Amino acid sequence: MADTRVKLGDWTLDNPVIPASGTFGYGREFAELYDLNILGSISLKGTTREPRFGNPTPRIADTPSGMLNAVGLQNPGIEKVLSKEIPELKKVFSKPLVLNVGGFSEEEFAYCCAAAANEESIGIIELNISCPNLHAGGKNFGVTPEGASAAVRAAKSTAKQPVYVKLTPNVTDITSVAKACEEAGADGICLINTLVGMRIDLRTRKPVLANRTGGLSGPAVLPVALRMVYDVYNAVKLPIIGMGGISTAEDVVEMMLAGASAVEVGAANLVNPYVCRDIVLKLPEVMDRYRIDKLSEITGGAH
């Protein structure tokens, strides 16, 4: 019988499939469609210290083989996520969660991780370092090794859960950023976040998104994500959660062969709300087809 269990550090998941932050809300809507406990875990919508309305509309645009989003971290703030959203989700989901934390300063990362430190239902912190560092002229934390290190050190100073760092692909050398995160004490790496892109309305001759640019996700980015996961697997000795364009069980296997120990499924949830469930159910068949007995044993198998 196919063994779909995988490990992220000391945490064992029933399978590697995790809905990605920002594409699954706080899970309650999806719980009306199927039993969420079939999933490996759930990555919650990105959380900041204060409530955020997000960017002006329009903030979503279609693209060939994907989509652009410039939602802007809309969320009710860390205190409400901990006091309302997580308790509601725990009524329908019994496994540890992934808490995605964003921030615009080192202090904000530390604050959010401290606030969540005693929440036993959180298995790992997913540190989103694609946010602009307002104390450093607006440059994203994740585009330099120095910025990434500072964010990781701030999070680790207060976090009780393992800290996995979500890397932006919008850099020259993603391995140097991953190494900096490892040296700063990160417990794992998540990649990739979205690629920067834009669309232009031919009638108005202006950008479609009010924010001008947005993050490209969907099947179009899978080859980029695979290459970056492959490179980072060679560069660090940390577990990796791979994401970017995954929509099938075959994609999961491919991402794990590149070096991922688990995966997150993002934009596909917005096209087919059952996609994560379907991938989990399909995995044993795909494993059998490719003669895989234990899914955990294929991580990095393409190297």
% residues pLDDT > 70 (the chain): 97
> Stretch 65-71: mean pLDDT, rounded?
94
> Which pLDDT does position 292 carry in this prediction?
98
Active-site residue among 131, 181, 190, 276?
A: 131
| Contacting residues for 70 by C-beta, under 8 A, at least 6 apart | 55, 59, 60, 209, 210, 211, 213, 214, 215
Query: What is the maximal distance between C-alpha atoms in the chain?
Result: 57
> Can you give the pLDDT at residue 133?
61
Q: Please report the pLDDT score of residue 34 as a whole number.
A: 98
Under the banding of pLDDT at 50, 70 and 90, the label for residue 49 is very high
214 Cα distance to chain centroid: 16
Q: Report all structural domains of the chain as residue ranges with CATH numbers, in order of start.
A: 6-298 (3.20.20.70)
pLDDT tens-digit readout, 187-246? 999 999 999 999 999 999 999 999 999 999 999 999 999 999 999 999 999 999 999 999
Q: Is 113 in the active site?
A: no
Looking at residue 131, what is its pLDDT? 75
- Structure tokens of 110? 């530390």
- For residue 145, name the pLDDT band (cuts at 50, 70, 90): very high
Least confident range of 40-44, 132-136, 206-210, 264-268: 132-136
